[in-house]
Amino acid sequence: MAAIARPREAGSREAGPRASGSRGSYPFWRWVILIVAGVYFLVPLFAALRFAGITAFGSVISETGFTSSLGLSVRLAIVTTLVTIALMLPTGVYVHLRLPKLRRLLEGITILLIVIPPVVLIVGVLQIAPNFLKSTPYLLALEYVILAMPFAYRAIDAGLRALDLKTVVEASNSLGAGWISTLWRVVLPNLRTAVLSAVVLTVALVLGEFTMASLALFQTFPVWIVVNDQTSGQVSVAASLLALFVTWVFLLAITMIGTRQARRTGGGQVTLFVVARQETRGD
């Protein structure tokens, strides 16, 4: 037995430096990738900042149409996000529970929305949309829901596949919780990360969309940047950088709020029994 144990110990000793060497080489390549990615993204931003100048940021806020266009883009982002989540979350849950064979069909339908050009989509909608929708910018919110649907659906679908949805729903229903309570207080907390990803993708899409807004003759913030570029290039570049920073801050705030709520609720698994007891007691 000792003769057998010695080669193993020797082998383990020989494998030790190799393992430590391989572990030591991993952080090096990781830092190389981070540095290359940082240079790739930061150099254009630095060039744009140098071209615009620090003084241009002060004049951006005082430009005509800045506040109204930015406010419109933020309102459209909020409405689009609420409508998208309200449509995609129940649909994804119902398909996973009742119609699992239709998941591939639904994935194919959402892919078609990526293939259709936004120009074709907005021109067709403007031809058939009622007049009361054409006169309001919230027509764009409905269009943005279609554009964000493929990204939001795939984010929610990934969360549903990682969750044992059938077991969670059956346990909640067997303990007395209704469908609305199950969806809102049990399923949604467990899909917090997936829903948060869908929200981030939807907000980023709305705040950067230009084609549909320009063809529908609504001055969102991207349209305002392009229009203002014809008069002052430095102010336009400063506005673009400001829009980028505002988008980063907005998405960072969404991520931090979702993370804090997830820590407070503990991921949502514990709430299943709490909700069920409240439902059975009639609280």
Instruction: Give domain limits for the chain.
Output: 17-52, 55-281
Query: Which residue intervals of 163-232 are DSSP H helices?
Result: 165-174, 179-182, 188-190, 192-208, 211-215, 221-229
More confident residue, 271 or 248: 248
Q: Which of 110, 20, 61, 76 is nearest to 228 (CA)?
A: 61
**Does the pLDDT value for residue 111 go beyond 70?**
yes
Would you call 135 helix, strand, or coil by DSSP?
Answer: coil
Confidence tier at 258 by pLDDT (50, 70, 90): low
Share of the chain above pLDDT 90, in %: 16
**Does the pLDDT value for residue 127 go beyond 50?**
yes
Q: Which CATH superfamily is domain 55-281 in?
A: MetI-like (1.10.3720.10)
User: pLDDT tens digit string along 45-90?
Assistant: 888 888 887 777 777 877 888 889 989 999 999 999 999 999 999 9
**Does the pLDDT value for residue 110 go beyond 50?**
yes
pLDDT in the model for residue 264: 61
More confident residue, 247 or 159: 159
More confident residue, 244 or 152: 152
pLDDT in the model for residue 3: 43
Burial environment of residue 36 by CB neighbours within 10 A (0 to 12, 13 to 18, 19 or more)? exposed
User: pLDDT tens digit string along 129-170?
Assistant: 888 888 888 899 999 999 999 999 999 998 898 888 888 888
